[in-house]
Amino acid sequence: MNEPLILAGLTTSPLELISFLLAVTTVVLNIRQKHWAWLFSIASSATYAVVFYDARLYGDMGLQFVFIAASVWGWYQWLHGSGNTPLVPSFLKASGRAWSLAAWLTGFVLLSTFLDNFTDTDVPHADGFLTAGSLVGQLLLAKKKVENWHVWIAVDILYVGLYLYKGLVLTAVLYGVFVLLAIAGLRTWSALARKAA
């Protein structure tokens, strides 16, 4: 399933292509607040775990398993909300933003230290930083916080460079598309959050 495949001049694999399509579907459905996005997220994460393992991006590989668990939780959150109240897009308070940044920084230190000392990755700091940011973004997404899109914009821009460096060109293109989709998500959810407030 990982034999080289040339698609529009890009070298990829069938598994990376499938992962790409599942991931784009996930984000489009997230923007539209369709709970089925979480099912596509689970499938995309499972296939990308294999792609990232092959590329020795172990932080990203491990992140996919966390994404699967977070997707189950996010799916439940989107279906059942907080108690009997459905979740709607909302903004974080200042304390929530501070906690999110602190969690990102702490995750970065822990993950990059682990990756540097216990794996053969050649990009422990980049992998750790982006993995920690992705975890924060995923948790904010599950709670329908508008700021999840800010996190994804920052992370996705940096992932483009990392994936180009690792030779995952189609995945780099995907993350470029993700930047554009995250900007659209930010605009859509910001308007909904202002309207709800």
How much is the pTM? 0.85
Q: Which tens digits make up the pLDDT trace of 24-62?
A: 999 999 999 999 999 999 999 999 999 999 888 888 898
- What pLDDT does 59 receive? 80
Q: Which tens digits make up the pLDDT trace of 158-185?
A: 999 999 998 888 889 889 999 999 999 9
**DSSP track, the chain:** ----EEETTEEE-HHHHHHHHHHHHHHHHHHTT-TTHHHHHHHHHHHHHHHHHHTT-HHHHHHHHHHHHHHHHHHHHHHH-BTTBPP--BPPPHHHHHHHHHHHHHHHHHHHHHHHHHS--S-HHHHHHHHHHHHHHHHHHHTTBTTHHHHHHHHHHHHHHHHHHTT-HHHHHHHHHHHHHHHHHHHHHHHHHHHH-
Q: What is the mean predicted confidence (pLDDT) over 60-84?
A: 87
Segments forming the whole domain that contains residue 132: 97-196
Q: Do 52 and 75 have their domain in common?
A: yes
Q: Do 184 and 102 have their domain in common?
A: yes
Q: Do 103 and 192 have their domain in common?
A: yes
End-of-domain residue from the set 30, 52, 82: 82
